[in-house]
């Protein structure tokens, strides 16, 4: 376990406080699902403006509205916030970052952007407008688009509906659905069937036994029609991602206890439906035959439902753990909210439309998927830093989980093992990682020496090795820390 020195604890507390202040987070109210409760009221007040497209005045075209510095946070710790714009260490980020960006571990293709998140002012840039393959840093774009489309309190439902003696398990696209949640859904379904009591079925003669009883078994179908197109990602079958379907349990892992890269089922929806049927049987509901695919009939009545955690928590999980299944789910949820087909192509259009509405620099950008596994994805370093600045705007508290979900260097998620206790950025850098063969990226936030929140993005292509590129990227981010 890394040895944490006193100065790092103080600086880490300062960084955390400044990150909140740069986002104009009110002091009153506790955190809940990645945001303060006071922000929920602010978001409600802004909703009418959001729907009409009217926004508070910004710092300029394509720039975020100014956020205050944080003298109230720095004061008790003995620090001092400067009133002048951040210009990096001793006013020369180029001198600090230039040699690090030339590290051979980054390969021949290297781009960078560092901005003052409060004003959008670029403090350092190297090929900042050059589209690059981003790997998993594209999840920042997926997060912002989903939060903007649905809001941080949105929950994804998995439901059971009934028509006569037919029950249909309807997938809503919750990639975090577990077998435990299916058990809860089976309990609620059995209770709802019992509460219905005797009835008639599909025009038949009156019956005295309730549906699901031994004398009146139910038929079970499962509906995955929310999603369109093929379920297999363009990379093919891969342990990093389950087939993308509206219904799955435990990430379609053949071993539900497994994490990370793991063997996945070829039939996630069918497996989930069969597990649900067995759980119904455990609750005393007799299922006549093996579940079959089928769309819920028109007029079917809702019986029971379970819901995912709030979208804010899903975004934080996706970013911290770089969860590809959640990423593809959120991209499709964005498509559904935007009246686009919930497919790879429809999600790409919906994400782009959302980000365009936020005034982001999208020239050369491509969102072929939500997870970053597709090498056709393209973003610029400037886009990534502007996304982070948008999430820090005082007038957009609904986007805050795109910041709070970023891994903490040396402590959480995909950065837990990449910084030691003696590295400058340990505990201070918060960033999304991105790694494919020949691709490395890192994008996040850190508080600069003068008390301003900096957003950064470093992208590298044709890298010689994963370890070499990650070490070089970590040094770049660490150089921005106080």
* C-alpha torsion angle, residues 38, 42, 47, 49 (rounded to 10): -170
- The answer to whether 443 is a known catalytic residue is no
Instruction: Exactly one of 33, 69, 136, 426 is catalytic; name it.
Output: 136
- Rounded to whole angstroms, how far apart are CA atoms 121 and 428? 21
Report the side by side order of strands in the sheet with 453-461: 122-126, 109-116, 453-461, 439-447, 430-436
Q: Is 322 a catalytic residue?
A: yes
Q: Name, in order, each residue with C-beta under 8 angstroms of 131's C-beta and a sequence gap of 6 or more.
A: 363, 364, 365, 366, 378, 379, 380
Tokens of 472: 């070089």
Query: 395 pairs with which residues across the strands?
Result: none
The total of other beta-carbon atoms located within 10 Å of residue 6's CB is 7
From the list 69, 265, 308, 322, the catalytic residue is 322
Residue whose C-alpha is closest to residue 468's, from 107, 137, 127: 107
In angstroms, rounded to a whole number, what is the distance separating the alpha carbons of residues 107 and 439?
9
Phi, psi dihedrals of residue 24, rounded to the nearest 5°: 55, 45
Nearest to 410 by CA among 422, 401, 400, 419: 419
136 is an active site residue: yes
Q: What is the dihedral of CA 314, 443, 375, 328, to 10 degrees?
A: 10
The H or E element containing residue 233 is none
Q: Where is 112: in which H helix or E strand? A: strand 109-116
Q: Which residue out of 139, 432, 443, 469 is catalytically annotated?
A: 139
- Residues with Cβ within 8 Å of residue 155, at least 6 apart in sequence: 307, 308, 309, 310, 311
Structure tokens at 356: 């365009």
Other beta carbons less than 10 A from residue 292's beta carbon: 11
Q: What is the Cα gyration radius of the chain? A: 24
Which whole-number Å values give the CA distances from 226 to 272, 276, 323, 471, in the listed order?
16, 19, 21, 42
How far apart are the C-alpha atoms of 309 and 401, rounded to whole Å?
Answer: 13
215 in Cβ contact with 272 (< 8 Å) = no
Three-state secondary structure call for residue 299 = coil
State whether the Cα torsion 39-42-48-53 is positive or negative.
Answer: negative
| Catalytic residue positions, numbered | 136, 139, 322
């Amino acid at each position: 376990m890394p040895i944490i020195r006193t100065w790092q604890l103080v600086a880490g507390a300062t960084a955390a406080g400044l990150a909140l202040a740069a986002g104009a987070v009110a002091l009153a109210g506790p955190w809940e699902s990645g945001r303060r409760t006071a922000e929920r009221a602010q978001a409600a007040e802004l909703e009418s403006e959001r729907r009409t497209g009217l926004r508070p005045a910004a710092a300029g075209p394509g720039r975020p509205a100014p956020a205050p510095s944080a003298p109230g946070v720095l004061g008790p710790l003995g620090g001092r916030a400067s009133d002048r714009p951040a210009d990096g260490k001793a006013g020369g980020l180029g001198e600090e970052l230039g040699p690090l960006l030339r590290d051979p571990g980054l390969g021949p293709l290297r781009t960078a952007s560092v901005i003052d998140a409060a004003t959008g002012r670029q403090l350092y840039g190297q090929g900042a407008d050059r589209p690059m393959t981003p790997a998993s840093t594209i999840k920042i774009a997926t997060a912002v688009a989903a939060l903007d489309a649905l809001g941080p309190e949105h929950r994804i439902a998995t439901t059971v509906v009934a028509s006569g003696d037919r029950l249909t398990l309807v997938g809503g696209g919750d990639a975090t659905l577990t077998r435990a949640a299916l058990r809860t859904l089976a309990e609620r379904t059995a209770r709802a069937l019992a509460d219905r009591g005797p009835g008639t079925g599909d025009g038949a003669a009156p019956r005295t036994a309730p549906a699901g009883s031994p004398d009146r078994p139910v038929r079970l179908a499962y509906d995955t029609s929310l999603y369109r197109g093929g379920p297999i990602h363009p990379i093919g079958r891969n342990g990093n991602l389950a087939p993308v379907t509206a219904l799955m349990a435990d990430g379609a892992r053949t071993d539900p206890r497994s994490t990370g890269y793991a063997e996945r089922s070829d039939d996630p929806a069918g497996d989930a439906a069969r597990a649900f049927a067995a759980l119904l049987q455990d609750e005393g509901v007799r299922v006549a035959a093996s579940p079959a695919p089928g769309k819920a009939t028109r007029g079917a009545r809702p019986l029971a439902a379970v819901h995912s955690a709030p979208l804010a928590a899903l975004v934080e999980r996706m970013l911290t753990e770089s969860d590809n299944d959640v990423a593809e789910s959120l991209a499709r949820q964005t498509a559904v909210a935007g009246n686009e087909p919930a497919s790879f192509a429809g999600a790409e259009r919906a994400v782009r439309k959302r980000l365009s509405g936020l005034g982001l620099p999208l020239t050369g950008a491509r969102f072929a998927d939500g997870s970053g596994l597709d090498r056709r994805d393209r973003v610029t370093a400037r886009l990534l830093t502007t996304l982070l600045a948008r999430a820090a705007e005082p007038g957009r508290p609904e986007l805050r989980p795109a910041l709070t979900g970023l891994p903490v260097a040396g402590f959480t998620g995909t950065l837990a093992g990449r910084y030691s206790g003696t590295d400058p950025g340990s505990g201070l850098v918060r960033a999304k990682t991105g790694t494919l063969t020949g691709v490395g990226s890192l994008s996040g936030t850190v508080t600069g020496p003068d008390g301003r929140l900096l957003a950064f993005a470093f992208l590298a292509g044709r890298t010689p090795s994963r370890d070499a590129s990650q070490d070089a990227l970590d040094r770049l981010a660490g150089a921005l820390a106080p």
